[in-house]
Structure 1
Amino acid sequence: MSKLSKGMSRRGFAKMTATGAMALSLGGILSACAGGSQGSTGSSDASTGTGPNGESQVIITMTPSSEPSAGFDPFISWGCGEHVHEPLIQSTLITTDANLEFANDLATSYECSHDGMEWTFVIRDDVKFTDGEPLTAEDVAFTINGIKESAASQADLTMVNEAVAVDDTTVVIKMAKPFNALLYTLAVVGIVPAHAHDENYGSNPIGSGRYMLEQWDRGQQVILRANPDYYGDAPLMERVVVLFVEEDASLAAAQAGQADVAYTSATLAAGVPQGYTLLNCASVDSRGISLPVVEPGGTIEHQGAEYPTGNAVTCDLALRRAINYAVDRQAVADHVLNGYGRVAYSVSDGMPWSSDDMKCERDVEAAQEMLADAGWVMGDDGVLAKGDVRAEFDLYYAAGDSVRQAIANEFASQMEEIGIRANVIGDSWDVLYQHQFSDPIVWGWGSNSPIEVYNLNYSDGSGNYACLDNASVDYYLDEALAQPRVEDSYDYWKSAQWDGETGFAPRGDASWVWFVNVDHLYFMRDGLTVAEQKPHPHGHGWSLANNVDRWSWN
């Protein structure tokens, strides 16, 4: 917009002014980075895709939470945290392609013993760290053992006993139990040098990956530069600048031409800046509500603390099933996501391990019959009751997350129609965690790995907020992980969801109600070719850059 419209409100003018200020601030960051440390000279040009020395460059905005607060250390969370992604600075044993099939990176081959208790990897002998030292199996073993023993690590390697370097190119991972989903974790665990890893590694990482850390201005940006000694195909994109900004500032960066790829949301996606197109990346980033299946009064130990468990309303099986059948998922996708998303029936829709039995088409009449058959009677105030129990519960969401707030309100409105009252409460995560096993909460989950199916539904799973304890589900999940070949596990994952008689699907335990998969949206500068993307996991950050080395300018 070139001038102030007569009809523009004071609020709109203030927002425009703030956007301009953000753009100026971003311009300052980019200007500062051009003459920054470690040899950068000249000025970056965000409009032509060239860096300070004429190299190909892309500028990407990400959420502030995408910045690795502890640095680029796989022993803590880099690459393998909640929002999993390829570590870029470090190499990984294996990786996954756009179809989520495994491919070798450092590994030249690997195999699993018939009992699932040992994984043997043979690795390349031509890889060097950026300090010139060779990468050997000893570094692989050091990394895996170090992550396993690190209290700060966000990569779960508790199923590993130890990793042993047999020789310079062979490492054996000895398991505490069969767990083939280990492969998905190894695909994002960056290998660090045993000779150069210490408490300062996160700020000064030495790796063997596609990129090196050129500059890190905490709270602002990260700059990566192509590794000239990388053993694979040389990166087409030689320099990557990542700006950590809030959503409004990301929009401002695109409007000012200060970013080549700027993340956005469904509420802002219609306003594509001139010179950009909307990049829509499919995701397995699901939004759903946990429905505690046990009666109140119990407690659970979780991560060193004790929490109350159970809910007097959602412990009723018929009510949980009715909720799943009554909800209008398409309305959530349309009203909350403006169409930038799709209905979801599980945490893993579309994945090889997902089951069609999770699908639950809307049938309000069937839901009402389920409730009536279970003894729920409509009260004068429009709320169902069963004896002394009213069909009323608190529903929590993370305050400040507009999408989760809208989902909670849309869900509550829909449930009113069948006599279920959800009292929507927005609060901090510190408060929400106190209710995680006793009250429904709007969660965001999703990963390019079946491990989240395990964590959310296994009796001892780290995300089993519904307190589900189904022996058949546990059996199938254990069997899925025990298969020496990942491909042979899919039917077991599906049986855990529904085997014809039981499972956690809506016709079974109905321990969750899932609504939508959230599309990951970006404003992309014209002339930039972004390589084919894998389905994005939960989190709006580094997963976009998994293959940034294959991006190019036309």
Structure 2
Amino acid sequence: MHKFLSFIKEFRIPKKQNLRDALVSFSKKEFYIFTVALIVAFVSMLIILNNLNNKFLVDVPMKGGSITEGIIGMPTLVNPVLALSDADKDLVSLVYSGLVRRSPDGTYILDLAESYTISPDGLTYTFIIKKDARFHDGKPVTADDVVFTIDKIKDPTIKSPRTGWNGVTVEKKDDRTVIFTLNKTYISFLDNMTIGILPMHIWKEKESQFSISPFNIKAIGSGPYKIKSVIKNKDGIPEEYILKSFSDFALDVPNIKTLHIKSFSNEKDLIEAISNGSIDQAGGISPINAIALDKNSHVIYTTSTPRIFGLFYNSTNNKIFTDPNVVMAFNYALNRKEIIEQVLYGYGTIAENPIPETILKNDGAINIDSDSINKANELLNKSGWILGDDGFRTKGGITTIDKTKKVGKKTITEKVKVNNGQLVTLEFSLTTLDTPEFKQSTEIIKNQLKAIGVRVNTEKVYEIGPLNKIIQNREYEALFFGQRINHESDLFLFWHSSQKKDPGLNISMYSNSKVDKILEDAQKTIATEDRITKYKIFIEEFNKDLPALLIYSPKYLYATTKNLNNININTLINPSDRFASVYTWYANTDHVWKIFTK
């Protein structure tokens, strides 16, 4: 060590003349070796420096890029008050902003609003609009625009499909302050505040043409993207919208500069377009098409939906559903996982309870009972349903039993016929929609219940129009159908006994006074944790009664190109919610040192 330190101390960089003399003194072989060593040293140094540089570099989103999304249907009402189809709502979510925005995790974040307060009784909501909130034409967003939009929703001549505004008054306090007053507590009211705000200065002059205004196509909002141009077909119907990022968007300038929204008439054409690369992405695709897409070029994002599919019993039309042992036996016998695998190709989750995951996250995995078929048979035996030679169960009718009696000192046995009333077969008719998914599901259910001796008749299959009439009149014994529970307040509509008749949505005709009270109280409970406690009691009661056999909740499937980043669709209430965080998506990246990202 001492010698090494002495060498370092005495080391001097050779003078230019000394280096020249040394090089001249090299033999040809020595010069070759020296040159190779110098090149190796230089290349090694570059590699080391590059590795060190990369170690401190990170990828960050870069503004720019273009993506093309395909949708089914042609948007012709890009208006938050009028939008009805999924295609309309997709464009509305890109072009318009509300006071708040539903984030990918299901919570609400400020959008056009700077802040808001809710009164302790939950009846008054006060919103303050951001000072720099702007529409795409540069005009400021004011309280007048908010009041105008809500007035249009409530105008009966407009016939807006937006709901949840009965008993709500809205008033302007000043240019930036809006006050909403409710006549009763509405726990889902904050979702109303996601409604896109119309620019009054444009629409005020078009009020008489509200439903047919050209601004329903060339819309002006305050959302993350503004409409640059619209390409129409020969009939004048929009088939492609070209959108540009809005530099004054309230939540920051979107990373993706250009969005192309192309319309298709059906899923077959949509999938063909994404497969051949003419579009980058598409949402709401069916499971069978999702598994067929090239995974080398596309990513399939999945998320929970507010839809629950199952068997909804009508015990008024078939009394077998009033027997707790029978409905519990059905619950044991049904293999939900098999249905999900065969019908949805695995793109679904088992429905654990009547509240979708978008509202109440499930506690854990479903426990599969390997002895469930035996338990189902035991319950049916207990209720007196006898398995016949034909494989189906019956109750009642004429049966022969052995009867003993004394004749003198002898005991003899004789066959005696006993009338147990009318012979009844354990069976029911299952009504459903005429689509491949629904029909395949009912056939699987039929076969699974046949294994425990239940006859299921699956001939009652209808188009949506006639089926809706059947549902309205409650003319079914059991219905395989799906509920869409967008908000907590919808639980009341689906399960409260007051909703048993049309237009109520309690299609199981469920009646439980304890459940009624829980749902009524939940409507008035402001604190989320308190509502969750009530919902858990509701689930317990539901599982005791089993008014429906809940089966699965399908996943929403979103296919995107692999070079698109930061897609976040953890919770979807509506398909258009996939664009909730569109402004954070990015296709282009840049490499910068970590210190410049802080």
TM-score by length of 1: 0.76
Q: State the match for 1:483 in structure 2.
A: 525
Instruction: Give 1:75 deviation, angstroms.
Output: 1.8
**For 1:114, which of 112, 117, 120 is the aligned residue?**
120
1:266-281 to 2 correspondences below 5 Å? 266-273=287-294, 276-281=297-302
Q: Which has the larger radius of gyration?
A: 2
Number of the residue aligned with 2:200: 194
Alignment of 1:181-220 (within 5 A): 181-187=188-194, 189-197=195-203, 198-199=210-211, 200=213, 201-213=215-227, 214-215=229-230, 217=232, 218=237, 220=239
Moved more, 267-276 or 423-432: 267-276
Give the conservation status (yes or no) of the 8 Å contact 2:432–2:438: yes
User: 2:113 touches 2:127 (CA, 8 Å); kept in 1?
Assistant: yes
Determine the C-alpha separation between the residues in 2 that align with 1:419 and 1:136: 66
Secondary structure in 1 aligned to 2:180? strand
The equivalent residue for 1:249 is 269
Rounded to whole Å, the distance in 1 between the matches of 2:512 and 2:185 is 20
Classify 1:164/1:509 alpha carbon distance in 2 versus 1 (closer, same or farther; 3 Å): farther
State the match for 2:442 in structure 1: 408
* Matching residue of 1:333: 340
Moved more, 414-423 or 147-156: 147-156
Map 1:3-152 to 2 at 5 A.
Answer: 56-64=65-73, 67-68=74-75, 71-77=77-83, 87-150=93-156, 152=159
Q: For 1:344 and 1:216, locate their aligned partners in 2 and report how far apart those are by CA, in whole Å.
A: 43
Q: What is the distance in 2 between the residues matched to 1:497 and 1:148?
A: 35
Opposite residue 493 of structure 1, the aligned amino acid is Y
Change (3 A) 1:295 1:405: same
| Corresponding residue to 2:488 among 434, 440, 450 | 450
Measure the CA separation in 2 of the matches of 1:351 and 1:331: 23
- Note if 1:550 corresponds to 2:589: no
- Quote the sequence identity (%): 24
Closer, same or farther: CA 527–158 of 1 in aligned 2, 3 Å: closer
- Kindly indicate whether the alpha-carbon contact (under 8 Å) linking 1:278 and 1:521 is maintained by their aligned counterparts in 2: no
Alpha-carbon distance between aligned partners in 1 of 2:364 and 2:190, rounded to the nearest angstrom? 26
When structure 1 is superposed on structure 2, of 208-217 and 233-242 the one drifting more is 208-217
Q: Cα distance, 1:546 vs. partner? A: 2.7
**1:76-116 CA distances to partner (integer Å, 9 max, x unpaired)?**
33599998997221111212323222211122222322222
Q: Secondary structure at the match of 2:508?
A: coil
8 Å CA contact retained: 1:78, 1:87: no
The normalised TM-score by structure 2 is 0.71
1:157–1:241 distance in 2 versus 1, CA, 3 Å: same
Inter-partner Cα distance in structure 2 for 1:334 and 1:190? 39
Q: 5 Å matches for 1:271-350?
A: 271-273=292-294, 276-296=297-317, 311-346=318-353, 348-350=355-357
CA contact 1:284–1:348 (8 Å) conserved in 2: no
**Partner Cα separation in structure 1 for residue 425 and residue 150 of structure 2:** 51
Deviation at 1:216, TM superposition (A): 5.9
Aligned partners of 2:88 and 2:190: how far apart in 1?
A: 17
Q: CA deviation at 1:317?
A: 4.3
Match of 2:554 in 1: 518
Q: What CA distance in whole angstroms lies between the structure 1 residues aligned with 2:455 and 2:364?
A: 27
1:368 to 374, 377, 388: 377
Q: How does 1:493-532 map to 2 (within 5 A)?
A: 493-498=535-540, 503-504=541-542, 507-532=543-568
Match of 1:471 among 513, 518, 529: 513
| Structure-2 residue corresponding to 1:395 | 430
Name the SS of the counterpart of 1:367 in structure 2: helix
Distance (whole Å) between structure 1 residues aligned to residue 150 and residue 431 of structure 2 = 37
Query: CA contact under 8 A between 1:100 and 1:448: conserved in structure 2?
Result: no
Tell me the distance in 2 between the aligned counterparts of 1:58 and 1:81: 17
Aligned with 1:383 (options 386, 392, 398): 392
Secondary structure (helix, strand or coil) at the match of 1:320 reads: helix
1: CA distance, partners of 2:169 / 2:137: 27
Change (3 A) 1:468 1:158: farther
Counterpart of 1:306 in structure 2 is: none
- Structural mapping, 1:171-182, within 5 Å: 171-182=178-189
Is 1:224 the counterpart of 2:243? The answer is: yes
- The CA deviation at 1:178 is 0.8
State which drifts further: 216-225 or 170-179.
216-225
Deviations 1:149-207 (A, max 9, x none): 446333321453322222222222221321111113333x1111334332224334221
TM-aligned CA distance change 1:394 to 1:86, over 3 Å = farther
User: Partner of 1:430: helix, strand, or coil?
Assistant: helix
Q: Cα gap change, 1:279/1:355 in structure 2, threshold over 3 Å: closer, same or farther? A: closer
**Cα deviation code 1:371-409 (max 9, x no counterpart):** 343444445543344555543333233323x22222222
Higher helix proportion (structure 1 or 2) = 2
Provide structure 2 residue ranges, at least 5 long, that are not aligned to the other structure: 1-62, 204-209, 397-421, 589-598
Amino acid at match of 1:432: L
Question: Shift of residue 468 of structure 1?
Answer: 1.8
Q: Which amino acid aligns with 2:146?
A: V
- Count of paired positions: 474
* Distance of 1:81 and 1:157 partners within structure 2: 22
- Distance verdict in 2 for CA 1:288–1:229, change over 3 Å: same
Q: Secondary structure at the match of 2:339?
A: helix
| Counterpart Cα distance in 2 of 1:367 and 1:149 | 54
Kindly tell me: are residues 144 and 228 of structure 1, through their superposed partners in 2, closer, same or farther at Cα, counting changes over 3 Å? same
Which of 257, 265, 270 aligns to 2:286? It is 265
Change (3 A) 1:259 1:468: same
SS at match of 1:552: coil
Question: Do the aligned partners of 2:187 and 2:489 also contact (CA within 8 Å) in 1?
Answer: no
> Aligned in 2, Cα 1:452/1:374: closer, same or farther, shift over 3 Å?
farther
The aligned counterpart of 1:492 is 534
2:161 match: 154
Query: Cα offset for 1:444?
Result: 3.4
Q: Is the 8 A contact 2:186 2:489 kept in 1?
A: no
CA distance in 2 between counterparts of 1:76 and 1:374 reads 54
SS at match of 2:134: coil
Q: Separation in 2 of the partners of 1:360 and 1:456?
A: 27
Task: Kindly state the Cα deviation for residue 285 of structure 1 after the two structures are TM-superposed.
Answer: 4.9
Shift in Å, 1:243: 2.8
Shift of the alpha carbon at 1:549?
Answer: 2.4
